[in-house]
Chains A and B, each alone.
Chain A
Protein backbone atom coordinates (compact mmCIF):
# COMPACT_ATOMS: atom_id res chain seq x y z
CA UNK A 1 0.00 0.00 0.00
CA UNK A 2 2.80 2.39 0.94
CA UNK A 3 4.64 1.43 -2.23
CA UNK A 4 1.60 2.14 -4.40
CA UNK A 5 1.19 5.54 -2.79
CA UNK A 6 4.83 6.41 -3.52
CA UNK A 7 4.41 5.26 -7.14
CA UNK A 8 1.19 7.26 -7.54
CA UNK A 9 2.78 10.42 -6.12
CA UNK A 10 5.95 9.84 -8.15
CA UNK A 11 3.92 9.83 -11.37
CA UNK A 12 1.99 12.92 -10.27
CA UNK A 13 5.26 14.79 -9.59
CA UNK A 14 6.65 13.90 -13.03
CA UNK A 15 3.60 15.40 -14.74
CA UNK A 16 3.60 18.38 -12.39
CA UNK A 17 7.22 19.06 -13.30
CA UNK A 18 6.38 19.30 -17.01
CA UNK A 19 3.36 21.49 -16.37
CA UNK A 20 5.22 23.83 -14.00
CA UNK A 21 8.08 24.22 -16.48
CA UNK A 22 5.64 24.91 -19.26
CA UNK A 23 3.96 27.62 -17.16
CA UNK A 24 7.24 29.23 -16.10
CA UNK A 25 8.53 29.29 -19.69
CA UNK A 26 5.60 31.54 -20.67
CA UNK A 27 7.06 34.23 -18.41
CA UNK A 28 10.84 33.86 -18.72
CA UNK A 29 11.54 31.74 -21.83
CA UNK A 30 12.24 28.05 -22.48
CA UNK A 31 16.03 27.85 -22.03
CA UNK A 32 15.83 30.12 -19.00
CA UNK A 33 13.34 27.68 -17.47
CA UNK A 34 15.49 24.62 -18.27
CA UNK A 35 18.48 26.39 -16.70
CA UNK A 36 16.77 27.53 -13.51
CA UNK A 37 14.76 24.40 -12.81
CA UNK A 38 17.86 22.19 -13.10
CA UNK A 39 20.03 24.57 -11.11
CA UNK A 40 17.58 24.68 -8.21
CA UNK A 41 17.03 20.91 -8.48
CA UNK A 42 20.79 20.40 -8.40
CA UNK A 43 21.17 22.56 -5.30
CA UNK A 44 18.32 20.70 -3.57
CA UNK A 45 19.74 17.26 -4.45
CA UNK A 46 23.23 18.32 -3.36
CA UNK A 47 21.81 19.50 -0.03
CA UNK A 48 20.17 16.10 0.56
CA UNK A 49 23.39 14.37 -0.49
CA UNK A 50 25.48 16.35 2.00
CA UNK A 51 23.30 15.05 4.84
CA UNK A 52 23.75 11.41 3.85
CA UNK A 53 26.37 9.33 5.57
CA UNK A 54 26.99 7.18 2.53
CA UNK A 55 27.60 9.64 -0.30
CA UNK A 56 28.72 7.30 -3.06
CA UNK A 57 30.14 9.91 -5.40
CA UNK A 58 33.63 8.45 -5.10
CA UNK A 59 32.27 5.55 -7.13
CA UNK A 60 31.72 7.75 -10.21
CA UNK A 61 35.20 6.67 -11.32
CA UNK A 62 34.04 3.07 -11.63
CA UNK A 63 31.33 3.95 -14.15
CA UNK A 64 32.02 4.03 -17.89
CA UNK A 65 32.41 7.74 -18.82
CA UNK A 66 29.67 7.54 -21.49
CA UNK A 67 27.06 6.68 -18.85
CA UNK A 68 28.03 9.65 -16.68
CA UNK A 69 26.95 12.21 -19.29
CA UNK A 70 23.29 11.07 -19.49
CA UNK A 71 22.30 14.08 -17.39
CA UNK A 72 23.24 16.40 -20.24
CA UNK A 73 20.23 15.12 -22.19
CA UNK A 74 18.06 16.76 -19.53
CA UNK A 75 18.37 20.12 -21.28
CA UNK A 76 16.84 18.76 -24.48
CA UNK A 77 14.23 16.71 -22.62
CA UNK A 78 12.94 19.78 -20.77
CA UNK A 79 13.01 21.89 -23.93
CA UNK A 80 11.08 19.25 -25.93
CA UNK A 81 8.64 18.67 -23.08
CA UNK A 82 7.82 22.39 -22.67
CA UNK A 83 7.39 23.05 -26.39
CA UNK A 84 5.27 19.91 -26.89
CA UNK A 85 2.92 20.89 -24.04
CA UNK A 86 2.46 24.32 -25.64
CA UNK A 87 1.71 22.76 -29.02
CA UNK A 88 -0.45 19.73 -28.21
CA UNK A 89 -1.38 19.82 -24.50
CA UNK A 90 -0.28 17.71 -21.52
CA UNK A 91 -2.09 14.41 -22.24
CA UNK A 92 -0.78 13.96 -25.76
CA UNK A 93 2.73 15.06 -24.76
CA UNK A 94 2.93 12.63 -21.85
CA UNK A 95 1.49 9.79 -23.98
CA UNK A 96 3.91 10.30 -26.87
CA UNK A 97 6.85 10.58 -24.46
CA UNK A 98 5.90 7.32 -22.73
CA UNK A 99 5.60 5.44 -26.01
CA UNK A 100 8.97 6.69 -27.27
CA UNK A 101 10.57 5.90 -23.93
CA UNK A 102 9.21 2.35 -23.67
CA UNK A 103 9.90 1.60 -27.34
CA UNK A 104 13.51 2.73 -27.10
CA UNK A 105 14.09 0.78 -23.88
CA UNK A 106 12.52 -2.23 -25.59
CA UNK A 107 14.88 -1.86 -28.59
CA UNK A 108 17.91 -1.51 -26.33
CA UNK A 109 16.92 -4.57 -24.28
CA UNK A 110 16.13 -6.76 -27.27
CA UNK A 111 19.41 -5.90 -28.99
CA UNK A 112 21.49 -5.96 -25.83
CA UNK A 113 22.93 -2.48 -26.54
CA UNK A 114 24.93 -0.62 -23.88
CA UNK A 115 25.84 -3.89 -22.21
CA UNK A 116 22.24 -4.62 -21.21
CA UNK A 117 21.41 -8.28 -20.81
CA UNK A 118 19.78 -9.36 -24.08
CA UNK A 119 16.13 -10.21 -23.59
CA UNK A 120 13.90 -12.15 -25.92
CA UNK A 121 10.87 -10.15 -26.90
CA UNK A 122 7.50 -11.79 -27.08
CA UNK A 123 4.25 -11.09 -28.87
CA UNK A 124 2.44 -9.56 -25.84
CA UNK A 125 5.05 -6.81 -25.71
CA UNK A 126 4.33 -5.83 -29.29
CA UNK A 127 0.62 -5.92 -28.47
CA UNK A 128 1.28 -3.60 -25.50
CA UNK A 129 3.09 -1.04 -27.68
CA UNK A 130 0.40 -1.32 -30.38
CA UNK A 131 -2.28 -0.62 -27.74
CA UNK A 132 -0.42 2.49 -26.53
CA UNK A 133 -0.14 3.82 -30.07
CA UNK A 134 -3.81 3.04 -30.69
CA UNK A 135 -4.61 5.02 -27.53
CA UNK A 136 -2.75 8.08 -28.87
CA UNK A 137 -4.62 7.80 -32.16
CA UNK A 138 -7.91 7.72 -30.23
CA UNK A 139 -6.82 10.81 -28.26
CA UNK A 140 -6.09 12.63 -31.47
CA UNK A 141 -8.89 11.78 -33.88
Chain B
Protein backbone atom coordinates (compact mmCIF):
# COMPACT_ATOMS: atom_id res chain seq x y z
CA UNK B 1 0.00 0.00 0.00
CA UNK B 2 2.91 2.27 0.80
CA UNK B 3 4.40 1.91 -2.70
CA UNK B 4 0.97 2.27 -4.35
CA UNK B 5 0.27 5.43 -2.34
CA UNK B 6 3.60 7.05 -3.21
CA UNK B 7 3.25 5.94 -6.85
CA UNK B 8 -0.20 7.54 -7.11
CA UNK B 9 1.12 10.75 -5.55
CA UNK B 10 4.02 10.82 -8.05
CA UNK B 11 1.64 10.36 -11.01
CA UNK B 12 -0.74 13.01 -9.67
CA UNK B 13 2.17 15.41 -9.09
CA UNK B 14 3.50 14.92 -12.63
CA UNK B 15 0.06 15.66 -14.04
CA UNK B 16 -0.10 18.83 -11.93
CA UNK B 17 3.27 19.89 -13.41
CA UNK B 18 2.06 19.27 -16.95
CA UNK B 19 -1.27 20.95 -16.25
CA UNK B 20 0.46 24.04 -14.83
CA UNK B 21 2.40 24.48 -18.06
CA UNK B 22 -0.65 23.97 -20.28
CA UNK B 23 -2.79 26.24 -18.09
CA UNK B 24 -0.16 28.99 -18.05
CA UNK B 25 -0.33 29.08 -21.87
CA UNK B 26 -4.12 29.49 -21.72
CA UNK B 27 -3.69 32.03 -18.92
CA UNK B 28 -1.42 34.24 -21.05
CA UNK B 29 -4.21 34.68 -23.57
CA UNK B 30 -7.46 34.37 -21.66
CA UNK B 31 -6.65 35.50 -18.08
CA UNK B 32 -6.90 33.57 -14.83
CA UNK B 33 -10.69 33.35 -14.33
CA UNK B 34 -11.52 32.15 -17.83
CA UNK B 35 -8.69 29.64 -17.50
CA UNK B 36 -9.89 28.41 -14.08
CA UNK B 37 -13.45 28.05 -15.34
CA UNK B 38 -12.30 26.03 -18.36
CA UNK B 39 -9.97 23.85 -16.27
CA UNK B 40 -12.61 22.97 -13.67
CA UNK B 41 -15.28 22.44 -16.34
CA UNK B 42 -13.09 19.96 -18.22
CA UNK B 43 -12.02 18.27 -14.99
CA UNK B 44 -15.70 17.80 -14.16
CA UNK B 45 -16.45 16.32 -17.60
CA UNK B 46 -13.50 13.92 -17.38
CA UNK B 47 -14.58 12.82 -13.88
CA UNK B 48 -18.13 12.12 -15.03
CA UNK B 49 -16.89 10.07 -18.00
CA UNK B 50 -14.36 8.01 -16.03
CA UNK B 51 -16.76 7.70 -13.09
CA UNK B 52 -19.55 6.31 -15.30
CA UNK B 53 -17.10 3.88 -16.95
CA UNK B 54 -16.05 2.47 -13.57
CA UNK B 55 -19.21 2.76 -11.54
CA UNK B 56 -22.12 3.15 -13.96
CA UNK B 57 -25.27 4.59 -12.42
CA UNK B 58 -23.70 4.25 -8.99
CA UNK B 59 -21.83 7.50 -9.71
CA UNK B 60 -25.08 9.44 -9.23
CA UNK B 61 -26.06 7.79 -5.95
CA UNK B 62 -25.14 10.32 -3.30
CA UNK B 63 -26.68 8.95 -0.13
CA UNK B 64 -24.24 10.18 2.47
CA UNK B 65 -23.88 13.76 1.25
CA UNK B 66 -23.48 16.36 3.95
CA UNK B 67 -24.32 20.00 3.33
CA UNK B 68 -20.71 21.24 3.32
CA UNK B 69 -19.66 18.74 0.66
CA UNK B 70 -21.51 20.90 -1.86
CA UNK B 71 -19.23 23.81 -1.04
CA UNK B 72 -15.85 22.08 -1.09
CA UNK B 73 -15.24 23.18 -4.69
CA UNK B 74 -15.29 26.79 -3.54
CA UNK B 75 -11.90 26.23 -1.85
CA UNK B 76 -10.58 26.29 -5.42
CA UNK B 77 -11.58 29.95 -5.67
CA UNK B 78 -9.36 30.68 -2.65
CA UNK B 79 -6.51 28.75 -4.27
CA UNK B 80 -6.67 30.71 -7.53
CA UNK B 81 -7.18 34.15 -5.94
CA UNK B 82 -4.34 33.76 -3.42
CA UNK B 83 -1.85 32.24 -5.83
CA UNK B 84 -2.48 34.74 -8.62
CA UNK B 85 -2.17 37.68 -6.17
CA UNK B 86 0.95 36.22 -4.54
CA UNK B 87 2.74 35.79 -7.87
CA UNK B 88 1.69 39.28 -8.95
CA UNK B 89 3.01 40.85 -5.72
CA UNK B 90 6.12 38.76 -5.07
CA UNK B 91 7.19 37.36 -8.43
CA UNK B 92 7.10 33.63 -9.23
CA UNK B 93 10.26 32.47 -7.43
CA UNK B 94 9.47 33.84 -3.99
CA UNK B 95 5.71 33.23 -4.26
CA UNK B 96 6.03 29.59 -5.33
CA UNK B 97 8.63 28.89 -2.62
CA UNK B 98 6.25 30.16 0.07
CA UNK B 99 3.23 28.39 -1.45
CA UNK B 100 5.04 25.04 -1.48
CA UNK B 101 6.38 25.53 2.05
CA UNK B 102 2.95 26.43 3.38
CA UNK B 103 1.47 23.35 1.67
CA UNK B 104 3.97 21.12 3.48
CA UNK B 105 3.55 22.81 6.85
CA UNK B 106 -0.23 22.42 6.69
CA UNK B 107 0.11 18.81 5.57
CA UNK B 108 2.23 18.06 8.63
CA UNK B 109 -0.23 19.92 10.86
CA UNK B 110 -3.14 17.98 9.39
CA UNK B 111 -1.50 14.59 9.82
CA UNK B 112 -0.57 15.31 13.43
CA UNK B 113 -3.97 16.68 14.42
CA UNK B 114 -6.11 14.28 12.37
CA UNK B 115 -8.68 17.02 11.69
CA UNK B 116 -11.88 16.11 9.79
CA UNK B 117 -11.64 12.53 10.98
CA UNK B 118 -8.71 11.52 8.79
CA UNK B 119 -6.39 8.90 10.20
CA UNK B 120 -3.85 10.53 12.51
CA UNK B 121 -0.18 10.19 11.66
CA UNK B 122 1.56 10.90 14.96
CA UNK B 123 3.91 13.89 14.90
CA UNK B 124 7.56 13.03 15.39
CA UNK B 125 10.86 14.88 15.32
CA UNK B 126 11.80 12.79 12.28
CA UNK B 127 8.79 14.16 10.36
CA UNK B 128 9.69 17.75 11.22
CA UNK B 129 13.28 17.19 10.02
CA UNK B 130 11.99 15.56 6.80
CA UNK B 131 9.71 18.51 6.04
CA UNK B 132 12.47 21.04 6.82
CA UNK B 133 14.90 19.27 4.46
CA UNK B 134 12.24 19.31 1.71
CA UNK B 135 11.57 23.01 2.31
CA UNK B 136 15.35 23.63 2.13
CA UNK B 137 15.39 21.76 -1.19
CA UNK B 138 12.49 23.86 -2.53
CA UNK B 139 14.36 27.09 -1.73
CA UNK B 140 17.69 25.89 -3.19
CA UNK B 141 15.86 24.76 -6.34
CA UNK B 142 13.74 27.85 -6.85
CA UNK B 143 16.53 30.30 -6.10
CA UNK B 144 19.13 28.65 -8.32
CA UNK B 145 16.53 28.71 -11.10
CA UNK B 146 16.20 32.42 -10.61
CA UNK B 147 19.97 33.01 -10.56
CA UNK B 148 20.24 31.07 -13.81
CA UNK B 149 17.78 33.35 -15.53
CA UNK B 150 18.99 36.89 -15.00
CA UNK B 151 17.51 37.91 -18.34
CA UNK B 152 14.06 36.64 -17.37
CA UNK B 153 14.32 38.44 -14.10
CA UNK B 154 14.87 41.68 -15.95
CA UNK B 155 11.86 40.94 -18.14
CA UNK B 156 9.77 40.27 -15.04
CA UNK B 157 10.88 43.49 -13.37
CA UNK B 158 10.11 45.37 -16.55
CA UNK B 159 6.62 43.88 -16.85
CA UNK B 160 6.03 44.62 -13.19
CA UNK B 161 6.98 48.23 -13.74
CA UNK B 162 4.50 48.35 -16.61
CA UNK B 163 1.77 46.95 -14.38
CA UNK B 164 2.51 49.60 -11.76
CA UNK B 165 2.59 52.28 -14.43
CA UNK B 166 -0.81 51.19 -15.72
CA UNK B 167 -2.28 51.60 -12.26
Contacts and interface: CB of A to CB of B under 8 A. Distances in A.
A87 B94 CA distance: 32
Contacts of B102: 7-12, 15
Where chain B touches its partner, the secondary structure class is helix
B19 A87 contact: no
Contact of B103 (A14, A26, A40): A14
In this complex, the interface size class of chain B, counting residues with CB under 8 Å from chain A, is 35 or more
Interface in A11-63: 11-17, 19-24, 26-29, 31-32, 34-46, 48-49, 52, 54-57, 59-60, 62-63
B21 A105 contact: yes
Contacts of A37: 72-73, 76
Where chain A touches its partner, the secondary structure class is helix
Interface residues of A, number: 116
Interface of A: 2-4, 6-17, 19-24, 26-29, 31-32, 34-46, 48-49, 52, 54-57, 59-60, 62-64, 66-81, 83-106, 108, 114, 116, 119-125, 127-140
Interface of B: 1-2, 4-6, 8-23, 25-26, 29-31, 33-34, 36-48, 50-51, 54-55, 58-59, 62-66, 69-83, 85-86, 88-90, 94-95, 98-108, 110-111, 115-119, 121, 126-127, 129-145, 147-149
